[in-house]
Chains A and B, each alone.
Chain A
Amino acid sequence: MSVAAHRRIAITGLGAVSAFGLGAEPLWHGLREGRSGIARLRHADAERLRVRVAAQVPADYDAAAHFDERMLPMLDRTSQFALLAAREAIRQSGIEFARDGLNRRTAVVIGSGIGGETTLDEQYKRLYAENSSRVHPLTIVRSMMNAPASQISMAHELHGPAFVVASACASSNHAIAQAVLMLRAGLADAAVVGGTDSCLNYGTLRAWEAMRVLADDTCRPFSVNRRGLVLGEGAGVFVLEAMDLAQARGAQILAEFGGSGMSADAGDIVAPDPNGAAAAIAGALADAGLAPGDVDYINAHGTATQANDITETRAIRQIFGSAAERLAVSSTKSMHGHAMGASGALELVAVVQALREGVVPPTANLDVVDPACDLDYVPNVARVMPVRAALSNSFAFGGLNAVLALKRAP
């Protein structure tokens, strides 16, 4: 299919929950200022855990302040965060599904790496540690992977296709790509999309410890002294609309969704393959009708593991060639942490705002660039520069890659 045949897609709303608190604006301001949301882990079992730091939603977050008490027993933190981010994105977009005749024409596609794992951890503790024979009766509906998409569809009466997409750390990007394909295919006219995860429970933290990929100090992507990733939590949600319909209702277009590229390494379950990443980057450029020279910024996957940062650098060089010399590349995981299935969505907030404001957020904690990482990583301080188009990379454990391409609003 030629690029010209694509229905153009607008992004008209943003919402986020992150270590910077509630809202896309606090997140963006934190990133733009190079502030880190990473802090000492807050957890009832912190003394026993080897995990030292995390990028957690602030301690003053009070679910009861945002949700009806009858609703709360049904909502794992993943659903709470997704609902809050969706509320914000929908409000910003100015869309009114009933007025605009969109209730049946709006899809909900949310990415999540691990879903309601925290609910399961809490409830299984009753069985295995407290010798109870009962778990909470809403354990299933609270923990099921699709709960965040279901809750958003219910809260906003959206009857279009709705589901959750799981691809570990690339879940957000895969979810957004699915929604765009449905919009282009005419299955829907609008979509509420993004990603959510909150897996900082005892069992999952222990599982991450056992993998030995967590940093004990902070997240230093592309730095020679990087010590691994830092877990985070949160959600990012966007409103996507067919460009013509968004323009017809006079919506403010925040950015244009250009295209996506997806690939599987089909190799090692954890070791990333530069060819797989490169294929996804090339796919996103082609789908968006962009040449390497059209792109000014890449929000990197940039986990700060030894393997990722070198592999990702190679993949970018492989596709961009000489155009890589004038690219700005940054990893905002250095500030919002690795929020698993929500990461791609938090990073897309940064990309949309970079396109709108002409400011590229930095890679924080970049002390000494690893000689094996030879791109311009925008160290520690944001850069004012025109951003015409940008990519957002996500590469998951399991070798699943998804890259999104965005353009400045027309």
Chain B
Amino acid sequence: MTNDSPTNDIPAQITEIIAKQAKVDPAMIRPESTLKDLGVASLDAIEVIFDIEEHFDITFPDQGTNFDTDTVQSLVDAVNKALASKDGAA
């Protein structure tokens, strides 16, 4: 799966992925929310990361990110960064 969402709005796509995994209304998800705030526990968080990686066809670095406590905005930033380095490499 690649970036095939009707919109290229990255925050909206990430929100959609998290909402599906956390089973919450996308409107509840704010840039400053953490996965923990949204009730996404450790293993669910890894699944969210996996879904985001699959969706954007990127790989997050192993270290330097704490997916439980980082915010939705930091995930958006990490996706942008990973996409930029992918474009740069292509």
CB distance from B51 to the nearest CB of A (A): 12
- Are B41 and A209 interface neighbours, CB within 8 A? no
- Are A270 and B62 interface neighbours, CB within 8 A? no
Take A268-B41, A271-B41 as given contacts and tell me if A50 and B46 are in contact as well, using a CB distance cutoff of 8 Å.
Answer: no
Residues from chain B with Cβ under 8 Å of A212 in the complex:
46, 49, 62, 67
Residue among B46, B49, B67 having the largest count of chain A Cβ atoms under 10 Å: B46
Take A210-B50, A212-B49 as given contacts and tell me if A271 and B42 are in contact as well, using a CB distance cutoff of 8 Å.
Answer: yes
**A214 at interface (Cβ–Cβ under 8 A)?**
yes
- Are A268 and B43 interface neighbours, CB within 8 A? yes
- Are B46 and A269 interface neighbours, CB within 8 A? no
**A211 at interface (Cβ–Cβ under 8 A)?**
yes
The distance in angstroms between the C-alpha atoms of A307 and B41, with both chains bound, is 13
**B7 at interface (Cβ–Cβ under 8 A)?**
no
The distance in angstroms between the C-alpha atoms of A270 and B68, with both chains bound, is 14
The distance in angstroms between the C-alpha atoms of A212 and B50, with both chains bound, is 10
**B63 at interface (Cβ–Cβ under 8 A)?**
yes
CB distance from A214 to the nearest CB of B (A): 7
Residues from chain A with Cβ under 8 Å of B59 in the complex:
50
- Are B46 and A216 interface neighbours, CB within 8 A? no
**A227 at interface (Cβ–Cβ under 8 A)?**
yes
B41-76 interface code vs A (CB 8 A; 1 in, 0 out)? 111001001100000000100110001000000000
The distance in angstroms between the C-alpha atoms of A268 and B41, with both chains bound, is 10
Residues from chain A with Cβ under 8 Å of B63 in the complex:
216, 227
The distance in angstroms between the C-alpha atoms of A216 and B62, with both chains bound, is 8
- Are A269 and B50 interface neighbours, CB within 8 A? no
Residue among B42, B46, B59 having the largest count of chain A Cβ atoms under 10 Å: B42
The distance in angstroms between the C-alpha atoms of A227 and B67, with both chains bound, is 14
B15-59 interface code vs A (CB 8 A; 1 in, 0 out)? 000000000000000000000000001110010011000000001
CB distance from B69 to the nearest CB of A (A): 11
Instruction: Name A246-288 residues within 8 Å CB distance of B.
Output: 268-271
Residues from chain A with Cβ under 8 Å of B67 in the complex:
212
The distance in angstroms between the C-alpha atoms of A214 and B63, with both chains bound, is 9
By beta carbon, the residue of chain A nearest B61 is A50
Residues from chain A with Cβ under 8 Å of B50 in the complex:
210
Residues from chain B with Cβ under 8 Å of A269 in the complex:
43
The distance in angstroms between the C-alpha atoms of A216 and B46, with both chains bound, is 18
- Are B46 and A210 interface neighbours, CB within 8 A? yes
A283-316 interface code vs B (CB 8 A; 1 in, 0 out)? 0000000000000000000000001000000000
- Are B46 and A214 interface neighbours, CB within 8 A? no
Residues from chain A with Cβ under 8 Å of B43 in the complex:
268-271
Residues from chain B with Cβ under 8 Å of A216 in the complex:
62-63
The distance in angstroms between the C-alpha atoms of A307 and B50, with both chains bound, is 21
The distance in angstroms between the C-alpha atoms of A209 and B53, with both chains bound, is 13
The distance in angstroms between the C-alpha atoms of A317 and B63, with both chains bound, is 30
CB distance from A62 to the nearest CB of B (A): 33
Residues from chain B with Cβ under 8 Å of A214 in the complex:
62
CB distance from A226 to the nearest CB of B (A): 11
- Are B42 and A209 interface neighbours, CB within 8 A? no
CB distance from A215 to the nearest CB of B (A): 8
The distance in angstroms between the C-alpha atoms of A270 and B41, with both chains bound, is 11
By beta carbon, the residue of chain B nearest A269 is B43
Instruction: Name A166-220 residues within 8 Å CB distance of B.
Output: 209-212, 214, 216
The distance in angstroms between the C-alpha atoms of A209 and B43, with both chains bound, is 14
Residues from chain A with Cβ under 8 Å of B62 in the complex:
50, 209, 212, 214, 216
A211-B46, A268-B42, A271-B42 given. 14 additional CB < 8 A pairs? Answer: A209-B62, A210-B46, A210-B50, A212-B46, A212-B62, A212-B67, A214-B62, A216-B62, A216-B63, A268-B43, A269-B43, A270-B43, A271-B41, A271-B43
Name A's B-contacting residues (CB within 8 A): 50, 209-212, 214, 216, 227, 268-271, 307
Q: List 7 A-B contacts (CB under 8 A).
A: A50-B59, A209-B62, A210-B46, A212-B62, A212-B67, A268-B41, A268-B42
Closest 5 CB pairs of A and B: A270-B43, A271-B42, A216-B62, A212-B46, A50-B62
Name B's A-contacting residues (CB within 8 A): 41-43, 46, 49-50, 59, 62-63, 67
